[in-house]
Amino acid sequence: MNILFYNNSFLWNNQSMVSLELAERFKKHKIFFLTCEETLFSCAANPKKIKNICKTCLINKDKTLKNLKKQNNFQELILNKKINYYKFNFKIKNFYQLKEIYYKNMPIGELVISQICDSEKSDYLPTEYILRNKDRILKELNSGIELFESAVSKINNFKIEKIYAWNGRRPSDGPVLFAAKYKRIPFKTFISNAPKKYYLGKGTKSHDLKEIKRLINIYSKYILKKNINLKKIYKNFILNKINNDIHKKNYGYQRINSKKGKKIGEKNYIVFFTSSAYEYAGFKDWDSKIYVDQYQAIKKIINDKRLRDTKIIIRWHPLLKIAGKIEKLRTEDIIKIKAKNVRHVRFDENISSYNILLNADKVITFGSTIVFEADYFKKPIISLTETPYDDLNFFYKASSHEEVINLIKKKINRKVSILPSTYAALIKNETFQFKLKKFNYKNNNYYFKNKKIISYTYLDRLRILISRIFHV
Protein backbone atom coordinates (compact mmCIF):
# COMPACT_ATOMS: atom_id res chain seq x y z
CA MET A 1 0.00 0.00 0.00
CA ASN A 2 1.18 3.53 -0.80
CA ILE A 3 0.50 5.82 2.15
CA LEU A 4 0.89 9.60 2.14
CA PHE A 5 1.53 11.62 5.31
CA TYR A 6 1.11 15.37 5.46
CA ASN A 7 2.30 17.53 8.32
CA ASN A 8 3.22 21.22 8.04
CA SER A 9 3.84 21.73 11.75
CA PHE A 10 7.45 20.63 12.18
CA LEU A 11 7.92 23.51 14.62
CA TRP A 12 5.69 21.59 17.02
CA ASN A 13 7.44 18.43 18.14
CA ASN A 14 4.29 16.73 19.48
CA GLN A 15 2.62 16.86 16.07
CA SER A 16 5.78 15.76 14.22
CA MET A 17 6.21 12.71 16.42
CA VAL A 18 2.67 11.54 15.67
CA SER A 19 3.41 11.42 11.94
CA LEU A 20 6.59 9.42 12.68
CA GLU A 21 4.70 7.07 15.00
CA LEU A 22 2.10 6.43 12.30
CA ALA A 23 4.83 5.89 9.71
CA GLU A 24 6.41 3.26 12.01
CA ARG A 25 3.14 1.33 11.83
CA PHE A 26 3.54 0.85 8.10
CA LYS A 27 7.12 -0.36 7.74
CA LYS A 28 6.06 -2.94 5.16
CA HIS A 29 4.39 -0.30 2.98
CA LYS A 30 5.63 2.51 0.77
CA ILE A 31 5.70 5.76 2.79
CA PHE A 32 5.46 9.22 1.29
CA PHE A 33 5.77 12.50 3.19
CA LEU A 34 4.32 15.57 1.46
CA THR A 35 6.18 18.62 2.78
CA CYS A 36 6.30 22.38 2.27
CA GLU A 37 9.40 24.46 1.53
CA GLU A 38 8.17 28.00 2.13
CA THR A 39 5.40 27.34 -0.41
CA LEU A 40 2.17 27.98 1.46
CA PHE A 41 1.00 31.51 2.13
CA SER A 42 0.58 30.73 5.83
CA CYS A 43 0.32 27.85 8.28
CA ALA A 44 -0.77 27.26 11.87
CA ALA A 45 2.73 27.68 13.30
CA ASN A 46 3.61 30.67 11.10
CA PRO A 47 0.42 32.55 10.14
CA LYS A 48 2.34 35.67 9.03
CA LYS A 49 4.91 33.69 6.99
CA ILE A 50 7.95 35.13 8.72
CA LYS A 51 11.04 33.99 6.78
CA ASN A 52 13.24 32.95 9.71
CA ILE A 53 10.42 30.88 11.19
CA CYS A 54 10.06 29.11 7.82
CA LYS A 55 13.80 28.42 7.86
CA THR A 56 13.68 26.99 11.39
CA CYS A 57 10.75 24.80 10.36
CA LEU A 58 12.77 23.43 7.41
CA ILE A 59 15.70 22.66 9.73
CA ASN A 60 13.36 20.82 12.08
CA LYS A 61 11.77 18.96 9.19
CA ASP A 62 15.14 17.61 8.04
CA LYS A 63 16.00 16.56 11.61
CA THR A 64 12.61 14.89 12.04
CA LEU A 65 12.75 12.93 8.78
CA LYS A 66 16.47 12.07 9.04
CA ASN A 67 15.95 8.45 10.07
CA LEU A 68 13.08 7.87 7.67
CA LYS A 69 15.19 9.07 4.74
CA LYS A 70 17.57 6.16 5.36
CA GLN A 71 14.77 3.65 4.72
CA ASN A 72 14.14 2.17 1.28
CA ASN A 73 10.37 2.48 1.66
CA PHE A 74 10.45 6.27 2.22
CA GLN A 75 10.11 9.11 -0.27
CA GLU A 76 9.70 12.84 0.39
CA LEU A 77 7.40 14.78 -1.94
CA ILE A 78 7.75 18.56 -1.94
CA LEU A 79 5.01 21.02 -2.82
CA ASN A 80 5.50 23.24 -5.85
CA LYS A 81 7.66 26.20 -4.87
CA LYS A 82 5.71 28.73 -6.93
CA ILE A 83 2.04 29.54 -6.36
CA ASN A 84 -0.07 31.99 -8.31
CA TYR A 85 -1.81 33.67 -5.39
CA TYR A 86 -4.16 35.51 -7.80
CA LYS A 87 -5.19 32.61 -10.05
CA PHE A 88 -8.79 32.85 -8.86
CA ASN A 89 -10.02 36.38 -8.22
CA PHE A 90 -13.00 35.64 -5.99
CA LYS A 91 -15.51 38.40 -5.30
CA ILE A 92 -15.61 38.81 -1.54
CA LYS A 93 -17.65 41.54 0.10
CA ASN A 94 -18.36 40.14 3.54
CA PHE A 95 -17.82 37.32 6.02
CA TYR A 96 -20.82 35.28 4.85
CA GLN A 97 -19.86 35.51 1.18
CA LEU A 98 -16.39 34.25 2.05
CA LYS A 99 -17.96 31.38 3.97
CA GLU A 100 -19.78 30.22 0.82
CA ILE A 101 -16.68 29.88 -1.39
CA TYR A 102 -16.14 26.29 -2.54
CA TYR A 103 -13.65 24.67 -4.88
CA LYS A 104 -14.49 21.18 -6.13
CA ASN A 105 -16.69 20.56 -3.07
CA MET A 106 -13.95 21.81 -0.73
CA PRO A 107 -15.22 24.60 1.58
CA ILE A 108 -12.05 26.64 1.11
CA GLY A 109 -13.81 29.78 2.40
CA GLU A 110 -14.47 28.07 5.75
CA LEU A 111 -10.83 26.98 6.01
CA VAL A 112 -9.57 30.50 5.33
CA ILE A 113 -11.99 31.94 7.92
CA SER A 114 -10.69 29.41 10.46
CA GLN A 115 -7.08 30.49 9.87
CA ILE A 116 -7.76 34.23 10.00
CA CYS A 117 -10.22 34.12 12.92
CA ASP A 118 -7.71 32.09 14.89
CA SER A 119 -5.03 34.71 14.18
CA GLU A 120 -7.37 37.56 15.12
CA LYS A 121 -8.83 35.69 18.12
CA SER A 122 -12.33 36.40 16.89
CA ASP A 123 -15.25 34.25 15.73
CA TYR A 124 -16.29 36.83 13.10
CA LEU A 125 -14.71 39.21 10.58
CA PRO A 126 -16.58 42.49 9.88
CA THR A 127 -17.01 43.79 6.33
CA GLU A 128 -14.43 46.55 6.85
CA TYR A 129 -11.85 43.92 7.80
CA ILE A 130 -12.70 41.76 4.78
CA LEU A 131 -12.33 44.68 2.35
CA ARG A 132 -9.16 45.97 4.00
CA ASN A 133 -7.53 42.52 3.94
CA LYS A 134 -8.87 41.27 0.60
CA ASP A 135 -5.36 40.69 -0.77
CA ARG A 136 -4.43 38.44 2.15
CA ILE A 137 -7.72 36.55 1.86
CA LEU A 138 -7.22 35.96 -1.89
CA LYS A 139 -3.73 34.63 -1.23
CA GLU A 140 -5.04 32.28 1.48
CA LEU A 141 -7.77 31.00 -0.86
CA ASN A 142 -5.42 30.38 -3.78
CA SER A 143 -2.74 28.86 -1.56
CA GLY A 144 -5.29 26.34 -0.26
CA ILE A 145 -6.52 25.56 -3.78
CA GLU A 146 -2.94 24.99 -4.96
CA LEU A 147 -2.37 22.62 -2.03
CA PHE A 148 -5.53 20.71 -3.01
CA GLU A 149 -4.44 20.40 -6.65
CA SER A 150 -0.91 19.45 -5.65
CA ALA A 151 -2.25 16.70 -3.36
CA VAL A 152 -4.52 15.40 -6.13
CA SER A 153 -1.52 15.33 -8.48
CA LYS A 154 0.58 13.38 -5.94
CA ILE A 155 -2.27 10.92 -5.40
CA ASN A 156 -2.46 10.28 -9.15
CA ASN A 157 1.28 10.18 -9.89
CA PHE A 158 2.31 8.01 -6.95
CA LYS A 159 -0.86 5.89 -6.77
CA ILE A 160 -1.56 6.90 -3.17
CA GLU A 161 -4.06 4.59 -1.47
CA LYS A 162 -4.42 6.23 1.95
CA ILE A 163 -3.70 9.62 3.54
CA TYR A 164 -2.95 10.80 7.07
CA ALA A 165 -2.95 14.59 7.51
CA TRP A 166 -2.54 16.86 10.50
CA ASN A 167 -5.56 18.79 11.88
CA GLY A 168 -7.44 19.76 8.71
CA ARG A 169 -9.16 23.00 9.69
CA ARG A 170 -6.97 25.50 7.81
CA PRO A 171 -6.12 26.19 4.16
CA SER A 172 -2.59 24.94 4.92
CA ASP A 173 -3.71 21.40 5.83
CA GLY A 174 -7.44 20.78 5.17
CA PRO A 175 -7.09 20.68 1.34
CA VAL A 176 -5.00 17.49 1.55
CA LEU A 177 -7.90 15.68 3.25
CA PHE A 178 -10.40 17.08 0.75
CA ALA A 179 -8.12 15.89 -2.05
CA ALA A 180 -8.33 12.37 -0.58
CA LYS A 181 -12.11 12.68 -0.38
CA TYR A 182 -12.21 13.98 -3.95
CA LYS A 183 -10.22 10.95 -5.13
CA ARG A 184 -12.31 8.63 -2.95
CA ILE A 185 -9.44 7.14 -1.01
CA PRO A 186 -9.40 6.54 2.79
CA PHE A 187 -8.06 9.33 4.98
CA LYS A 188 -7.64 10.23 8.64
CA THR A 189 -6.78 13.35 10.59
CA PHE A 190 -4.36 13.30 13.48
CA ILE A 191 -3.64 15.81 16.21
CA SER A 192 -1.63 15.70 19.45
CA ASN A 193 -3.03 17.15 22.64
CA ALA A 194 -0.06 16.42 24.92
CA PRO A 195 3.36 14.76 24.82
CA LYS A 196 3.11 11.12 23.71
CA LYS A 197 -0.65 11.32 23.10
CA TYR A 198 -2.72 11.85 19.98
CA TYR A 199 -6.12 11.48 18.36
CA LEU A 200 -7.14 10.00 15.01
CA GLY A 201 -10.37 10.93 13.27
CA LYS A 202 -12.26 10.07 10.10
CA GLY A 203 -13.53 13.60 9.47
CA THR A 204 -12.09 16.18 7.07
CA LYS A 205 -10.93 18.12 10.13
CA SER A 206 -10.15 17.28 13.74
CA HIS A 207 -13.16 19.45 14.71
CA ASP A 208 -15.60 17.57 12.46
CA LEU A 209 -18.83 17.75 14.47
CA LYS A 210 -20.51 14.77 12.81
CA GLU A 211 -17.49 12.59 13.51
CA ILE A 212 -17.23 13.76 17.14
CA LYS A 213 -20.94 13.01 17.68
CA ARG A 214 -20.54 9.58 16.09
CA LEU A 215 -17.69 8.66 18.43
CA ILE A 216 -19.51 9.93 21.53
CA ASN A 217 -22.65 7.97 20.59
CA ILE A 218 -20.68 4.77 19.95
CA TYR A 219 -18.95 5.03 23.32
CA SER A 220 -22.17 5.87 25.18
CA LYS A 221 -23.83 2.69 23.92
CA TYR A 222 -20.73 0.68 24.80
CA ILE A 223 -20.25 2.05 28.33
CA LEU A 224 -23.91 1.58 29.28
CA LYS A 225 -23.42 -2.17 28.90
CA LYS A 226 -20.59 -2.14 31.44
CA ASN A 227 -21.07 -2.56 35.17
CA ILE A 228 -19.37 0.62 36.37
CA ASN A 229 -20.29 3.36 38.82
CA LEU A 230 -21.20 6.15 36.38
CA LYS A 231 -22.58 8.32 39.16
CA LYS A 232 -19.20 8.41 40.91
CA ILE A 233 -17.35 9.00 37.64
CA TYR A 234 -19.67 11.91 36.80
CA LYS A 235 -19.16 13.47 40.23
CA ASN A 236 -15.37 13.26 39.93
CA PHE A 237 -15.53 14.64 36.39
CA ILE A 238 -17.48 17.69 37.58
CA LEU A 239 -15.22 18.26 40.59
CA ASN A 240 -12.14 18.00 38.39
CA LYS A 241 -13.64 20.50 35.99
CA ILE A 242 -14.48 22.95 38.76
CA ASN A 243 -11.09 22.57 40.43
CA ASN A 244 -9.24 22.79 37.13
CA ASP A 245 -7.53 19.41 37.56
CA ILE A 246 -9.01 18.02 34.36
CA HIS A 247 -6.89 20.30 32.20
CA LYS A 248 -3.68 18.57 33.17
CA LYS A 249 -4.60 15.43 31.27
CA ASN A 250 -7.53 16.15 28.97
CA TYR A 251 -7.88 18.28 25.87
CA GLY A 252 -10.81 20.60 25.23
CA TYR A 253 -11.32 22.65 28.39
CA GLN A 254 -9.87 26.11 28.87
CA ARG A 255 -7.44 26.58 31.74
CA ILE A 256 -9.53 28.90 33.86
CA ASN A 257 -10.48 28.24 37.45
CA SER A 258 -13.98 29.68 37.56
CA LYS A 259 -14.48 28.59 41.17
CA LYS A 260 -12.54 31.63 42.31
CA GLY A 261 -14.20 35.02 42.52
CA LYS A 262 -16.95 36.91 44.32
CA LYS A 263 -20.56 35.84 44.69
CA ILE A 264 -23.16 37.16 42.28
CA GLY A 265 -25.52 38.53 44.95
CA GLU A 266 -28.65 37.88 42.87
CA LYS A 267 -31.52 35.38 42.89
CA ASN A 268 -34.36 34.29 40.61
CA TYR A 269 -32.69 34.77 37.24
CA ILE A 270 -31.75 32.89 34.10
CA VAL A 271 -28.14 32.95 32.99
CA PHE A 272 -26.70 32.95 29.47
CA PHE A 273 -23.17 31.50 29.41
CA THR A 274 -21.32 32.64 26.31
CA SER A 275 -18.61 30.63 24.58
CA SER A 276 -15.13 31.26 23.29
CA ALA A 277 -14.78 29.38 20.02
CA TYR A 278 -12.22 30.85 17.64
CA GLU A 279 -11.31 27.32 16.53
CA TYR A 280 -14.83 26.63 15.27
CA ALA A 281 -15.30 29.98 13.51
CA GLY A 282 -16.70 29.69 10.02
CA PHE A 283 -17.61 26.00 10.13
CA LYS A 284 -21.21 25.44 9.07
CA ASP A 285 -21.56 22.18 10.97
CA TRP A 286 -21.19 24.14 14.23
CA ASP A 287 -23.66 26.89 13.23
CA SER A 288 -26.87 27.53 15.12
CA LYS A 289 -30.03 26.72 13.18
CA ILE A 290 -31.84 29.77 14.59
CA TYR A 291 -29.25 32.50 15.15
CA VAL A 292 -26.36 33.81 13.06
CA ASP A 293 -24.11 33.60 16.13
CA GLN A 294 -24.23 34.01 19.92
CA TYR A 295 -24.12 37.79 19.61
CA GLN A 296 -27.32 37.88 17.57
CA ALA A 297 -28.89 35.42 20.04
CA ILE A 298 -28.07 37.67 23.02
CA LYS A 299 -29.37 40.78 21.25
CA LYS A 300 -32.66 39.14 20.28
CA ILE A 301 -33.20 37.73 23.76
CA ILE A 302 -32.43 40.89 25.77
CA ASN A 303 -34.40 43.09 23.33
CA ASP A 304 -37.49 40.87 23.34
CA LYS A 305 -40.30 42.77 25.12
CA ARG A 306 -41.88 39.53 26.30
CA LEU A 307 -38.94 39.03 28.67
CA ARG A 308 -39.10 42.45 30.36
CA ASP A 309 -40.17 40.79 33.63
CA THR A 310 -37.47 38.13 33.46
CA LYS A 311 -34.14 38.81 35.13
CA ILE A 312 -31.30 37.83 32.78
CA ILE A 313 -27.59 37.58 33.52
CA ILE A 314 -25.12 37.38 30.66
CA ARG A 315 -21.91 35.71 31.80
CA TRP A 316 -19.24 36.69 29.28
CA HIS A 317 -16.60 34.00 28.85
CA PRO A 318 -13.44 34.76 30.89
CA LEU A 319 -11.25 33.91 27.88
CA LEU A 320 -12.53 37.05 26.16
CA LYS A 321 -9.82 38.78 28.18
CA ILE A 322 -7.36 37.57 25.55
CA ALA A 323 -9.72 38.00 22.59
CA GLY A 324 -8.79 40.23 19.69
CA LYS A 325 -10.01 43.76 19.07
CA ILE A 326 -12.89 42.65 16.80
CA GLU A 327 -14.36 40.26 19.36
CA LYS A 328 -14.02 42.70 22.24
CA LEU A 329 -15.76 45.48 20.29
CA ARG A 330 -18.69 43.16 19.55
CA THR A 331 -18.93 42.30 23.24
CA GLU A 332 -18.79 45.93 24.36
CA ASP A 333 -21.51 46.92 21.84
CA ILE A 334 -23.92 44.49 23.50
CA ILE A 335 -22.92 45.43 27.05
CA LYS A 336 -23.86 49.03 26.17
CA ILE A 337 -27.47 48.02 25.45
CA LYS A 338 -29.53 49.32 28.37
CA ALA A 339 -32.20 47.05 29.83
CA LYS A 340 -33.36 47.11 33.45
CA ASN A 341 -33.81 43.33 33.58
CA VAL A 342 -30.36 42.52 32.21
CA ARG A 343 -27.05 42.35 34.04
CA HIS A 344 -23.76 41.73 32.26
CA VAL A 345 -20.97 39.97 34.12
CA ARG A 346 -17.96 41.02 32.10
CA PHE A 347 -15.16 38.70 31.04
CA ASP A 348 -12.75 40.64 33.28
CA GLU A 349 -15.09 40.78 36.29
CA ASN A 350 -14.02 38.78 39.34
CA ILE A 351 -17.29 36.91 39.92
CA SER A 352 -17.45 33.13 40.18
CA SER A 353 -19.14 31.44 37.22
CA TYR A 354 -20.09 28.56 39.50
CA ASN A 355 -21.76 30.86 42.00
CA ILE A 356 -23.76 32.34 39.12
CA LEU A 357 -24.68 28.82 37.99
CA LEU A 358 -25.73 27.58 41.42
CA ASN A 359 -28.13 30.48 41.97
CA ALA A 360 -29.70 30.40 38.49
CA ASP A 361 -33.20 29.11 37.76
CA LYS A 362 -32.33 28.16 34.17
CA VAL A 363 -29.18 28.04 32.06
CA ILE A 364 -28.86 29.09 28.42
CA THR A 365 -25.75 28.06 26.50
CA PHE A 366 -24.30 28.58 23.06
CA GLY A 367 -21.95 25.59 22.95
CA SER A 368 -20.39 26.05 26.37
CA THR A 369 -19.14 22.92 28.18
CA ILE A 370 -20.64 24.33 31.37
CA VAL A 371 -23.75 22.34 30.36
CA PHE A 372 -22.27 19.43 32.31
CA GLU A 373 -21.95 21.37 35.56
CA ALA A 374 -25.45 22.78 34.99
CA ASP A 375 -26.80 19.26 34.54
CA TYR A 376 -24.96 17.95 37.60
CA PHE A 377 -26.44 20.74 39.74
CA LYS A 378 -29.90 19.92 38.37
CA LYS A 379 -30.51 23.07 36.30
CA PRO A 380 -32.84 23.12 33.28
CA ILE A 381 -30.66 23.85 30.23
CA ILE A 382 -31.61 25.52 26.94
CA SER A 383 -29.14 25.04 24.08
CA LEU A 384 -29.17 27.45 21.14
CA THR A 385 -26.64 25.88 18.77
CA GLU A 386 -25.13 22.64 17.53
CA THR A 387 -22.88 20.84 20.01
CA PRO A 388 -21.14 17.45 20.26
CA TYR A 389 -23.52 16.58 23.14
CA ASP A 390 -26.84 16.98 21.32
CA ASP A 391 -27.64 13.25 21.43
CA LEU A 392 -26.97 12.88 25.15
CA ASN A 393 -30.51 14.12 25.79
CA PHE A 394 -29.94 16.30 28.86
CA PHE A 395 -30.93 19.74 27.58
CA TYR A 396 -33.68 21.42 25.59
CA LYS A 397 -32.61 22.08 21.99
CA ALA A 398 -34.58 25.09 20.75
CA SER A 399 -35.56 25.09 17.06
CA SER A 400 -36.74 28.71 16.77
CA HIS A 401 -36.56 32.04 18.58
CA GLU A 402 -40.20 31.62 19.57
CA GLU A 403 -39.38 28.32 21.24
CA VAL A 404 -36.46 29.97 23.07
CA ILE A 405 -38.80 32.62 24.49
CA ASN A 406 -41.36 30.00 25.52
CA LEU A 407 -38.71 27.88 27.24
CA ILE A 408 -37.47 30.93 29.13
CA LYS A 409 -40.93 32.09 30.21
CA LYS A 410 -42.65 28.85 31.14
CA LYS A 411 -41.77 26.51 33.96
CA ILE A 412 -39.63 23.63 32.72
CA ASN A 413 -38.06 20.72 34.55
CA ARG A 414 -34.51 19.59 34.13
CA LYS A 415 -34.10 16.87 31.53
CA VAL A 416 -32.84 13.78 33.36
CA SER A 417 -30.43 11.51 31.48
CA ILE A 418 -27.70 9.04 32.37
CA LEU A 419 -25.87 9.81 29.12
CA PRO A 420 -23.81 12.82 30.31
CA SER A 421 -22.05 10.48 32.74
CA THR A 422 -20.99 8.28 29.82
CA TYR A 423 -19.21 11.31 28.36
CA ALA A 424 -17.47 11.76 31.71
CA ALA A 425 -16.31 8.12 31.50
CA LEU A 426 -15.06 8.78 27.98
CA ILE A 427 -12.90 11.67 29.22
CA LYS A 428 -11.69 9.74 32.28
CA ASN A 429 -10.59 6.74 30.22
CA GLU A 430 -9.10 8.86 27.40
CA THR A 431 -11.08 6.55 25.16
CA PHE A 432 -10.23 7.88 21.73
CA GLN A 433 -6.69 8.84 22.63
CA PHE A 434 -3.68 6.89 21.40
CA LYS A 435 -0.23 6.78 22.97
CA LEU A 436 3.12 6.91 21.22
CA LYS A 437 4.66 3.45 21.57
CA LYS A 438 7.79 3.76 19.45
CA PHE A 439 9.13 6.98 20.96
CA ASN A 440 10.26 7.98 24.43
CA TYR A 441 9.72 11.44 25.86
CA LYS A 442 12.04 12.99 28.42
CA ASN A 443 12.91 16.58 29.38
CA ASN A 444 10.88 18.04 26.48
CA ASN A 445 12.69 15.88 23.94
CA TYR A 446 11.69 12.79 21.95
CA TYR A 447 13.93 9.75 21.56
CA PHE A 448 13.84 6.80 19.17
CA LYS A 449 16.01 3.85 20.23
CA ASN A 450 17.70 6.18 22.77
CA LYS A 451 18.64 8.71 20.08
CA LYS A 452 17.26 12.24 20.25
CA ILE A 453 15.00 12.96 17.28
CA ILE A 454 15.09 16.76 17.32
CA SER A 455 17.72 18.89 18.99
CA TYR A 456 15.68 22.04 19.43
CA THR A 457 18.41 24.42 20.58
CA TYR A 458 18.17 27.68 22.48
CA LEU A 459 19.46 29.34 19.32
CA ASP A 460 16.43 28.01 17.44
CA ARG A 461 14.10 29.35 20.13
CA LEU A 462 15.86 32.72 20.14
CA ARG A 463 15.65 32.94 16.35
CA ILE A 464 11.90 32.32 16.43
CA LEU A 465 11.36 34.82 19.26
CA ILE A 466 13.28 37.55 17.43
CA SER A 467 11.46 36.73 14.18
CA ARG A 468 8.05 37.02 15.80
CA ILE A 469 8.93 40.35 17.44
CA PHE A 470 10.48 42.00 14.37
CA HIS A 471 8.60 40.05 11.63
CA VAL A 472 11.79 39.09 9.81
User: Which has the higher per-residue pLDDT, 442 or 138?
Assistant: 138
Which pLDDT belongs to residue 455?
60
Instruction: Describe the crossing of helices 108-120 and 134-157 by its angle, rounded to 10 degrees.
Output: 130
How far is Cα 213 from Cα 21, in angstroms, rounded to an integer? Answer: 26
- The average confidence (pLDDT) of the chain is 90
Task: Please provide the CATH number assigned to the domain covering 233-419.
Answer: 3.40.50.2000
Residue 430 region by backbone torsions, left for phi larger than 0, else alpha for psi between -120 and 50, else beta? left
The answer to whether the beta carbons of residues 137 and 112 sit under 8 Å apart is yes
How far is Cα 27 from Cα 23, in angstroms, rounded to an integer? Answer: 7
List the domain boundaries for the chain. Answer: 2-206+439-470, 233-419
Strand partners, 313: 271, 343
Residue 367 region by backbone torsions, left for phi larger than 0, else alpha for psi between -120 and 50, else beta? left
How far is Cα 449 from Cα 72, in angstroms, rounded to an integer? Answer: 19
**pLDDT by residue (tens digit) across 317-360?**
998 999 999 999 999 999 999 899 999 999 999 898 999 999 99
The answer to whether the beta carbons of residues 240 and 417 sit under 8 Å apart is no
Residue type, 352: S
The answer to whether the beta carbons of residues 4 and 154 sit under 8 Å apart is yes
**pLDDT by residue (tens digit) across 417-456?**
999 999 999 988 888 888 888 888 887 788 877 778 766 5
Which pLDDT belongs to residue 245?
55
**pLDDT by residue (tens digit) across 369-425?**
999 999 999 999 999 999 999 999 999 999 999 999 999 999 999 999 999 999 999
